[in-house]
Amino acid sequence: MDIQEINNIRINFDEDMVAIMNFALAFVMFGVALNLRWEDFKELWAEPSKVLIGLSSQLLILPLFTILLIILAGLPYSMALGMILVASCPGGNISNYATHLARGNTALSITLTTIVTLAATLITPFSFVLWAQAIPQSIQGQDLGIEVNVLEMLWIVMQLILIPIVSGMSLRYFLPSFAERIKKSISILSLLIFLAFIIGAIYGNWELIVQYVYLVFWLVVLHNGIALFLAYAYARIWKLPQKDARAISLETGVQNAGLGLVLVLNFFEGLGGMLLVVAWWGIWDLVSSLIIALIWRYRSVPLAENPTLEQS
């Protein structure tokens, strides 16, 4: 099969399914916010250099590498757009757990997740449009009739991220005991709702996914692996300790593919190449982050870098 045929695939989702997906993601983000505190920003004031290094890794190194991979692989336009979209999304909250498991700097991970997630309302739409324009003309020339309204995307991302995050953090600030009681139940419920919808969506398009997923399988695995390595090396070049490098690597390599999936459904009519990249990315993120976290967990950080390393 000609790989360019993936540009013409459309995954089937009706308006009701898209609306449910939007609600599910907003509910997930609300649950995430119940675990965030305004105090998490203290890392920014204590050691701003490592935060800036982490942010530049996510917002600059990752999309630049993504563009390079798109050019080298000569990807179809729809797949290239999917790669750019996920690279423009904030880090997924699984990165915080993976960083803790990897004996990395969890406080730095939470700080980066919080900053980038709150800033995603502006960063994700504008970053996507900016980097999408950097795709070579030879690839852009594969006209798919796609037009992105940045302001409309901005409004959708605000509903999906900013409003739920601010609501959740405010609830924790003003009613801490209530937020503490419900946060575990909300997190479990939101995850179950989101997973149930994704499973249902995959089941409804199973034949198409099985037929074409091989086109994106190794691409996503390769991108994710190199992104994790590059971010780690980038942090070490700046002479950050291993604990910080591990956190920055996972923050850069693990993206909020759920947000990417929702944006594909809202703005790109279930465009097959984009959706397959984003959907497999979300699955592989979980697998790769846990694998690398377990490897790092049993490769101790040198005591010279961290004399108080936890043994748990």
pLDDT digits (tens, 9 = 90+) for 293-306: 999 988 866 645 65
pLDDT (average), residues 63-78? 91
Mean pLDDT of 87-108: 85
Count CB neighbours of 307 within 10 A. Answer: 7
Q: Which residue has the tokens 């497999």?
A: 280
pLDDT cut 90: percent of the chain above it: 28
User: Are 121 and 311 contacting, i.e. CB atoms less than 8 angstroms apart?
Assistant: no
Residue 20, CA atoms < 13 Å, CB-side half-sphere:
13
Highest mean pLDDT among 33-42, 56-65, 75-84, 121-130: 56-65
Stretch among 90-94, 175-179, 269-273, 307-311 having the lowest mean pLDDT: 307-311
Q: For residues 263, 34, 196 and 250, what is the CA-based torsion angle, rounded to 10 degrees? A: 70
Residue-wise pLDDT for 222-232, tens only, equals 999 999 999 99
Which CATH number does the domain 13-297 belong to among 1.10.10.10, 1.10.8.190, 3.40.630.30, 1.20.1530.20? 1.20.1530.20
Whole-number mean pLDDT of the chain?
Answer: 81
Mean pLDDT of the 125-135 span? 89
- Three-state SS string across 27-65, please? HHHHHHHCCCCHHHHHHHHHCHHHHHHHHHHHHHHHHHH
- Give the separation between CA 1 and CA 4, rounded to whole angstroms: 9
Cβ neighbours of 196 (radius 10 Å): 12
> What's at 262, amino acid-wise?
V
Rounded to an integer, the average pLDDT of 262-271 is 77
The three-class DSSP label of residue 4 is helix
Count of residues making up the chain: 312
Tokens of 90: 């904030």
Residue tagged 């700097």 (tokens): 105
Q: Can you give the pLDDT at residue 46?
A: 74
Give the rounded percent of residues in the chain with a pLDDT score beyond 70: 80
pLDDT band at 311 (very low <50, low <70, confident <90, very high): very low
Query: Where does residue 208 fall: left (phi above 0), alpha (psi -120 to 50 degrees), or beta otherwise?
Result: alpha
pLDDT digits (tens, 9 = 90+) for 194-212: 667 667 666 666 776 777 7
Angle between helices 257-267 and 106-132 (to 10 degrees): 30
Q: Where are the domains of the chain?
A: 13-297
Copy the structure tokens of residue 283.
Answer: 């699955």
Query: With contact defined as beta carbons under 8 Å apart, do 263 and 70 qualify?
Result: no
